[in-house]
A and B are shown apart, each in its own frame.
Chain A
Amino acid sequence: MPVLDSGRSDAELIAAHAQGDTSAFAELTARHRDRMWAVALRTLRDPEEAADAVQDALISAFRAADRFRAESAVTTWLHRIVVNACLDRIRRRKTRPTVAMPEESGEHVSNSDLQALADKRDHMAERELRMDIGEAMGTLPEDQRAAIVLVDVEGYPVADAAVMLGVAEGTIKSRCARGRAKLAVQLGHLRNRSTDDVVGGSAEGTSARADSPP
């Protein structure tokens, strides 16, 4: 059902909802739903979980609207609730049992299998495959991914991202820096490297190259 835009600001809608206006929260939801969905999906990388996280977040916001203080923008407040719902789900996901990889399972792996695996990995590294950005983001630790999603993908200022994630601005910058350095490798803008690689000067095997778009 389409929700009409009454032209009220986010803050006015939250205040109206807290006063009992039954249409105000629906209008607020319709206004921010897709961006919250994008943040949740890109953070969790699972549509079902992302939908649940957005739903949980909106219900929390519905209940807590009367406690909203205009110290931050409504959109920052809503996204903070969504991000927290996503991070809660990631933490819960970590506690679930995982299927062991062959190396961890204790089963016998023959030398020829190991060689084939190593060849496959070398081949993939040599190809410098430009990974899909979504896949590449999936390789990042969740704290770096959440910072990258908010700052680089959704375009939020570092200060807003810091409020949403409940950390200092410097922490957001550091997480973005670490994440971008890894993504630069994954996306083929930077050659594969170890974490303590250096570039330039007398260092051998320079690990950086200027990106040359096709």
Chain B
Amino acid sequence: MSTEFRTPHGPPWDVDDVADVHAGVFPAEVTADLLTRIRSDPDGAAVLAALDSTVDDLSLLPPLLMPEKYVLRMETALFAERRTAAATRPIARERLGALLGRASAEAAPRTGRARCRTCRRPVRRRWPGPGLRDRWPPVQRPRCHPVISR
């Protein structure tokens, strides 16, 4: 980053230069020197006072409270987001064990992998997307074999 800058000269002082000095754009020692010189000029000092008054006006603006209707709207959106996140998060081992009808949570597969209903080989469980979250938990274990209707 370049540290080169154009040091302002005055009087007369450019208003934007005074604003830069006021905002601390220049290094501290340069700023201190420029402030002394600007304050010694009545018109320069008046610009500094005007900038101070402006900052005072801005700092005295009252705090704003979010209106209730927007708070409700936002909380509803966040609630929906929370439901979606909960539906797509892998479920706990204990709950998975209960869902699979095991006698105890200890019997649940440690990795959360399910077994095919037909051949009992481990299969990857497909987690439901947001559109299916209301139907979660799934009532059937997955299968890796096609089901042939007779």
Contact A155 B13 (CB under 8 A): no
Total of A-B residue pairs, C-beta within 8 Å: 170
A192 CB to nearest chain B CB (Å): 11
A170–B55 CA distance with the chains assembled, in angstroms? 18
> Which of A42, A54, A190 has the largest number of chain B CB atoms within 10 A?
A190
B13 CB to nearest chain A CB (Å): 5
Contact B77 A168 (CB under 8 A): no
A195–B18 CA distance with the chains assembled, in angstroms? 12
Interface of chain A, main secondary structure:
helix
Contact A133 B57 (CB under 8 A): yes
Any B CB within 8 A of the CB of A8: no
A136–B25 CA distance with the chains assembled, in angstroms? 23
B45 to A, closest residue via Cβ: A210
Contact A174 B25 (CB under 8 A): yes
Chain B residues contacting A211 (CB-CB under 8 Å) are 49-50, 53
Contact A174 B20 (CB under 8 A): yes
Interface of chain B, main secondary structure:
helix
Chain B residues contacting A178 (CB-CB under 8 Å) are 16, 19
Residues of A in contact, count (CB < 8 Å): 58
A29–B71 CA distance with the chains assembled, in angstroms? 10
Encode A34-69 as 1/0 by CB contact (under 8 A) with B. Answer: 110110011000010001001100110011000000
A47–B45 CA distance with the chains assembled, in angstroms? 39
A1–B71 CA distance with the chains assembled, in angstroms? 10
Residues of B in contact, count (CB < 8 Å): 49
A72 CB to nearest chain B CB (Å): 20
CB neighbors of A among B20-45 (8 A) = 20, 22-25, 41-45
Any B CB within 8 A of the CB of A183: yes
Which of A91-99, A111-119, A196-204 participates in binding chain B? Answer: A196-204
Any B CB within 8 A of the CB of A209: yes
Any B CB within 8 A of the CB of A89: no
Which of A19-27, A102-110, A120-128 participates in binding chain B? Answer: A19-27
Any B CB within 8 A of the CB of A184: yes
A50–B25 CA distance with the chains assembled, in angstroms? 31
Contact A183 B13 (CB under 8 A): no
Chain B residues contacting A1 (CB-CB under 8 Å) are 75
A/B interface sample: 26 pairs, CB < 8 A: A1-B75, A22-B86, A25-B78, A51-B74, A62-B78, A62-B81, A133-B58, A153-B59, A174-B20, A177-B19, A177-B22, A178-B19, A181-B51, A183-B57, A184-B53, A187-B53, A187-B54, A189-B57, A196-B14, A199-B13, A199-B41, A201-B12, A202-B12, A203-B11, A209-B50, A211-B50
